[in-house]
Amino acid sequence: MNQQHNCDVLIIGSGAAGLSLALHLAKNADVLILSKDQINEGSTFYAQGGIAAVFDENDSIASHVADTLIAGAGLCDEAIVQHTAENAKNCLEWLIDKGVDFDQDVPAANGDIRYHLTREGGHSHRRILHSADATGQAIQTTLASQVKNHPRIRIFERYNAIDLVYQKNKVNAERECIGAYVWNRNDEHVERIFAHKTILATGGASKVYQYTSNPDVASGDGIAMAWRAGCRVANMEFNQFHPTCLFHPEAGTFLLTEALRGEGALLLRPDGSRFMPSFDERAELAPRDIVARAIDFEMKRLGADCMYLDISHKSSDFIKQHFPTIYERTLALGIDITKQPMPVVPAAHYTCGGVMINQQGQTDIENLYAIGEVAYTGLHGANRMASNSLLECLVFARAAAIDIEQKIDISKPCITLPAWDESRVTDSDEEVVIQHNWHELRLFMWDYVGIVRTTKRLERALHRVELLQSEIEEYYRHFRVSNNLLELRNLVQVAELIIRSALDRKESRGLHYTLDFPDLLTEAKITILKPVE
């Protein structure tokens, strides 16, 4: 059908980063939000823990910065960490003004509101604002309600972005983004969207692994599209595995928030003994990379299917008040967490690397921005500290909005994008090929590029992924697009970037642990990959 839509700003992604940016920009621009599924279906909605910010008079920005730098294992950009921590409180106050209902403590003596602050791994103070154990849901539904009722914001639900459209700038001959080709999953056809500014807010790529805490939409789309368009990526080897996902055949991808450990939950072997004190002096409150490796080590050492997380020593009322979502979900599966421990395993959770941007969210390509998990900002380094992810979305959405407002010229005429050519493709009668490749990719990424790596495993994975790439690219050229094909095309590209980045790092640092190079190098350097022109 080749329909074209025009807008001032195209935001690809509908999580905390995309929706907050839309609300910032819609005062002065017409915004179009592309949502891959229903607007609430994304990683933000399922985030349980909360958002880190200094609200306690006994805490400090300097402490938040220091904790983040330690968790990042020497690879954080200190200026970015400082900028994020300094802007955290203002961004949360903006969320509160929008109607997000964070849990409160007893009011102060002067009547001021005091928010209940919890603590998570890597934090030296209680600084996590939360809405019980469903913080992401509170943020997502609040922001979604705001954008749905905004007169200058359009929302296209169940649309996949296929590729970015760019042209050569007439002044300097550099590439500039002018929109995107998109797949309308509702009517199953390709459409075009022109935009003066395009923002990738598509989240991470944890679906590249067989076991993940993420929803199905987390398939690395923005990273792959930006790479194909010519953007650099950085630190793709640092994939965070959340230590505690519920291990149950009917649990799906249910995460058990780090706030459980912040409130005293203990990690146990099947025999009921603790093991974290043997791995780190911070025990259960060590950063996620350390806890995930410890669980993985104990599972392999004992031949166990899982470890256990126990908070039953706390009162029943405390558990039900602070963790109602987890209590109800596990109870439905026959686990009463007020009386018994929860079986847990690590699962792929967060992509610490991504598309390289500056402090304003600008990528290597003019008029193209990236914010949230899709981007590499330098905040997380080699390991993301808990509850800094939603914070990053908010801080960089605001920074990008300021930059875009200063640079956008909505008086410029719209450009007619080249039509999508389907004249030489047919409908596929071999969908089984996609399914087979899909499962093969996620399985060998889990086995060869997981929590503990070796050079031989990584080389095997690279060989397999190159074969898959050629097969998938041939399939893509001959058959009409579909949701599964588009996601697989992007996932196999992201898998290659992860593997190549991991092979480039000849040390163990943060989330990247290899048996062949177990020590740290003296100098900490980020891994940068640049597309071949």
Neighbours of 401 (CB within 10 A): 26
- Taking alpha carbons only, the member of 25, 143, 91 closest to residue 403 is 25
Looking up tokens 């104990």 gives 298
Catalytic residue among 288, 442, 453, 509: 288
Give me the phi and psi of 527, to 5 degrees please.
Answer: -95, 120
470 burial (CB, 10 Å; 0-12 / 13-18 / 19+) is: exposed
Annotated catalytic residue 288: yes
CA distance linking residue 414 with residue 152, whole number of Å? 17
User: How far is C-alpha 256 from the geometric centre of its chain's CA atoms?
Assistant: 17
Count how many Cα atoms sit within 13 Å of the Cα of residue 193 in the half-sphere of its side chain: 31
CA distance linking residue 294 with residue 129, whole number of Å? 28
> What b/e string do you get for 17-26 counting C-beta neighbours within 10 Å, with b at 16 or more?
bbbbbbbbbb
CA distance linking residue 460 with residue 293, whole number of Å? 22
CA distance linking residue 114 with residue 96, whole number of Å? 13
Amino acid in position 352: C
Are 179 and 7 spatial neighbours (Cβ–Cβ below 8 Å)? Answer: no
- Cα-only R_g, the chain: 23
- Taking alpha carbons only, the member of 220, 241, 372 closest to residue 295 is 241
Q: Which residues contact 400 (CB under 8 A, 6 or more apart)?
A: 21, 199, 360, 361, 362, 369, 371
Looking up tokens 């793709």 gives 236
185 burial (CB, 10 Å; 0-12 / 13-18 / 19+) is: middle
Count how many Cα atoms sit within 13 Å of the Cα of residue 160 in the half-sphere of its side chain: 27
Give how far Cα 5 sits from Cα of 74, 156, 412, 421, 510, Å.
Answer: 45, 11, 16, 17, 44
Looking up tokens 């203990």 gives 266
Count how many Cα atoms sit within 13 Å of the Cα of residue 195 in the half-sphere of its side chain: 29
Amino acid in position 424: R
- Helix axis angle, 78-98 relative to 16-25, nearest 10°? 70
Amino acid in position 478: H
CA distance linking residue 482 with residue 340, whole number of Å? 44
| Percentages of the chain per state (helix, strand, coil), in multiples of 5 | 35, 20, 45
Are 275 and 294 spatial neighbours (Cβ–Cβ below 8 Å)? Answer: yes
Neighbours of 52 (CB within 10 A): 30
Q: Show which residues are catalytic.
A: 288
